[in-house]
């Protein structure tokens, strides 16, 4: 196994499995504590998918307080409520038709107000966690032919590394960033996003959002691992591919990040092009 594979397992795969186990416990506790039977769509293959969908449905029911009691029992990271609201609002088919969604989301125990300027900006207010305003990326890039086409035709959720790699070829002066983000209960997951240094804002196409960096970091709490100016991504990818034996189908930015984590783990601080190969230390 390549050293990068071991890092990925420790920092994301193991975390995913741990959170899946907790999701299962949340689901069991909830279903055992209510009198109704819930039938889940066969499309939901994981406990995580079931719990997240259930949470959304319960916002408008008498069970919502009981459900959050169970989530808190398992140390649910409540800032996720703001991220989930941002995701839902960012993916509305028509952002001006938002009344019902906002009413639903305001049943969350940490969401106190949500507003829309009628054009391109949502603002989420939480007395506990602060304010987050985000511009719809689809609106911001409406006059950029390449970005507009990409946003309209690509699947935006759950493809962060792909989006940022595409943007590295489209917006060369911006920066590709990959970080570890706290997961729902415990552990972390890898997440990539684009940084506009001139405006000090984050572009996160998974959320169809452009956000002030400080507000983004307050909610997402990223641990930065890799920062590359977009025009240099291909060169770092070439070096990474030469020096590691990672899965050829792995997302490009994740490959680079894992290699940099490996170098940090052995105390290497030099240039990437002079760095040692993981192939030398590869386990059989």
Residue 139 C-beta-side C-alpha neighbours within 13 Å: 19
pLDDT of 281 strictly over 60:
no
Predicted local confidence at residue 1, as pLDDT: 72
Predicted local confidence at residue 202, as pLDDT: 98
Indicate the pTM of the whole model: 0.94
In angstroms, rounded to a whole number, what is the distance separating the alpha carbons of residues 255 and 221?
22
Environment class of residue 126 by beta-carbon count within 10 Å: exposed (0-12), middle (13-18) or buried (19+)?
Answer: buried
Nearest to 205 by CA among 120, 258, 126, 148: 148
Number of C-beta neighbours around residue 54 at 10 A: 19
pLDDT of 42 strictly over 80:
no
Q: Which backbone phi and psi does 50 adopt, to 5 degrees? A: -65, -45
pLDDT of 186 strictly over 60:
yes
Question: What's the average model confidence in pLDDT over 109-118?
Answer: 97
Number of C-beta neighbours around residue 212 at 10 A: 17
């Amino acid at each position: 196994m390549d050293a990068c594979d071991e890092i990925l397992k420790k920092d994301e795969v193991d975390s995913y499995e741990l959170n899946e186990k907790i999701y299962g416990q949340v689901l069991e506790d909830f279903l055992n504590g209510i009198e109704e039977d819930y039938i889940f769509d066969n499309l939901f293959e994981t406990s995580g998918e079931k719990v997240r969908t259930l949470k959304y449905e319960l916002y408008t029911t008498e069970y919502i307080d009981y459900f959050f009691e169970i989530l808190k029992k398992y140390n649910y990271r409540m800032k996720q409520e703001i991220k989930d609201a941002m995701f839902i609002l960012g993916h509305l088919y028509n952002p001006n038709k938002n009344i019902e969604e906002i009413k639903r989301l305001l049943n969350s125990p940490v969401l106190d107000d949500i507003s829309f300027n009628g054009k391109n900006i949502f603002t989420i207010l939480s007395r506990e966690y602060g304010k987050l305003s985000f511009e719809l990326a689809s609106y911001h890039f409406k006059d950029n032919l390449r970005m507009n086409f990409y946003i309209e035709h690509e699947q935006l959720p759950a493809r962060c590394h792909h989006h940022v790699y595409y943007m590295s070829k489209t917006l060369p002066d911006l920066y590709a960033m990959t970080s570890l983000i706290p997961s729902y209960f415990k552990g972390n997951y890898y997440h990539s996003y684009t940084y506009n240094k001139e405006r000090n804002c984050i572009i996160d196409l998974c959320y169809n959002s452009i956000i002030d960096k400080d507000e983004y970091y307050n909610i997402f709490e990223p641990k930065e691992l890799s920062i590359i100016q977009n025009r240099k991504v291909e060169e770092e990818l070439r070096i990474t591919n030469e020096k590691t034996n990672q899965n050829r189908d792995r997302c490009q930015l994740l490959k680079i990040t894992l290699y940099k984590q490996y170098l940090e783990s052995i105390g290497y601080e030099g240039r990437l092009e002079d760095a040692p190969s993981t192939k030398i230390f590869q386990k059989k």
